[in-house]
Every structure is written in C-alpha cells, then in structure tokens.
Amino acid sequence: MTATYKKHILQFKQPSGTSRGILTQKETWFIVIANNNKRGIGECGILRGLSIDDRPDFEDKLHWVCQNIHFGLDNLLVELDEFPAIQFGLEMAFLSLESKDEFVLFPSEFTNGEASILINGLIWMGTKAFMKQQIKSKIEAGFSCIKLKIGAIDFKTEIELLRTIRKEFSVKDIELRVDANGAFSPTEALEKLKILSEFDLHSIEQPIKQGKFEEMARLCEQTPLPIALDEELIGVSSVTKKEELLQNINPQYIILKPSLVGGFKRSKEWIKIAEKQHIKWWITSALESNIGLNAIAQWTYTLNNKMPQGLGTGSLFTNNFVSPLQVKKGTLRYEPKQKWNLNF
C-alpha cells in the first residue's frame, strides 16, 4: 500500500463575506491511497483561521501519514487528534479504497439517483443590495430554507433585510437560519437575539465566539431563539470532553462539519451524545471541493435526518471538479450517469 498527497487551491467565483473576513480562495489537500491496482481518494480541507490544524506543520503531518500508511486507518487516526482535517481525509480515502466505485462510499437510494437531500440556500455577507439579490435568486431556485451570514455589516441593515424577507415570505413559505460566526459580544448578544427572534427564525449559529463556555451556557438558557453550536465543537476530541461541553452549555442544536471535527466516526460520537441529551443536529460542509462534499452528502443521507442540511456549497468555485452532485429546487441530488473529471 502506498499513499501520496496533492494540494489544490479552490477559487471562489466571487468574494464571499463572513464575520471573519472575505474569502477569495480555499486551500484543500487530497490524499490518494493505492493498493492492488485500486485507488482511494480523500480530501483534507482546512479553513485558515478556523481549523485547529491551520498550523505550519500541516503538510509535514500529511507527508508523515503518507510515509506510514502501512500502519492502517485505526492506528493513524489515534496519532491525528490535533489534525481533524487529515483524520477526515484519511477515513474517506480508506472508505474509497474499499468501495466498489471509488466515488460511491455509502451506496443508497441517493447514489442510485432515486432520492435527494433537502438543503439550505447560503446567503453570503455583503451590501444590502447584494444580499437581497442572493435571497431573490435562492427563492426563485426553489429553496424552502435560507441561511444568512450575519455580523459583518451594520446590524440595523441586517434587521431590515430580515424584515423585508418576512414581509414577503412567512415562516410557512421560507425557513430562515442565521449564522453569526461568533460576531456578537457576550454583553450585547442576548439583546440582539431578542430582536432577531421577532422574525420567526429557525436558529442562530454561534452567536458569540467559541471558548466562552459560561456566557454561551447562559445565552442558551435565556435565549428566545434556538442556538446552534458550530465552531464551539472544533478541537474537542475526547468523548468525555464532548459530553461535558454539551451538558454544560446545553444548546438547542449542534452543527457538524466532518472536516473540522475529525471525520465520520467522530461526528457520530457528537450525534450519539447530542441525542442522549435531546439536542438536535444537522450536517454542514466546510467548503470542500466536490470530492469531499460527495462523501459528506452520501454519509449524511444514511443518517436519515429530514432537516435541511448545509450541503449546497459545490457551486461556489470556478475550478471545482465536475461531479454527479446537482442542486435542484432546494435539494442536492446525485446523477449516476454524470462522470467525474479528475486530473489526478
């Protein structure tokens, strides 16, 4: 068995705004395992400034993994707790290697093209006019759930946008989610949540920065609007720590990005703990290429979660790979007849 890796820079079609800044490109890495004339492909995607494995020795660790691929998946995963993106890519690559088709990791009605996954439409931060235009196009495209990034422009402007949407579309027409990416300060967060709650929102993701456990626990207890933890889950690897975090904060939802929390196995640990505590959850991509998104989507379908998932990110890039994934009328579908166009 041998393994190699390859770097790929995804270019955004247009600059995409979050409260942490403007994204113009996304760095990702592919690990390719070969054995007995078979190949397995995994994606190790990091988000600069967010992933805990955004560190100078990331590529060195990837090189080490390829040199020691003979250790096997389980042994390697134990050595990679500080590198969740590599854990995910490695788990995906081994699943790909063992599969009949290297791109069908979880065969189902979804990969047969017989079923779809309900997804939310993502609205990036920008000027009021730009955000309104995005909202209009998502609604026209048939999305029944829209997620808005908030926290980068003036809060009053964001409230006006939500008011405009709700004047035209009731909660029965459109489910609205917002993602603050930790933009609110702990002192102002509750007041802002009270204002946001007037618009029948489904939830708000990560209203304050991760790591402020007492403040977040207090917010989740007092909030008039369901709170979903996202960044808060990054870097928590042991089952005990996961249990403590959810018990102490007790959020209404958690959001799982396999690239950021260490792959499918570790995501399932979060799900098991959350369900035990009656905390709901959904799955979101972390701006992977279509290779990683394909694996996450197939896995997500097997979980049988009927909520809209955050898997509509494949069309963001100019240099993504042509794949069987298609977004149609607010759903993600898999078209088995569509071939991949990989150049490696």
Residues recognised as catalytic: 149, 257
3-state secondary structure of 120: coil
Rounded to whole angstroms, how far apart are CA atoms 285 and 296?
7
Residue 297: which of 115, 44, 45 has the closest Cα? Answer: 115
In order of 243, 271, 325, the CA distances from 278 in angstroms are 13, 10, 32
206 in Cβ contact with 229 (< 8 Å) = yes
For tokens 């600069």, name the residue: 48
Ranges of beta strands (E only) in the chain are: 2-18, 21-35, 38-45, 117-118, 121-123, 145-149, 175-179, 203-205, 227-229, 253-256, 280-283, 325-328, 331-334
In order of 170, 178, 189, 198, 201, the CA distances from 194 in angstroms are 19, 14, 9, 7, 11
Rounded to whole angstroms, how far apart are CA atoms 30 and 43?
5
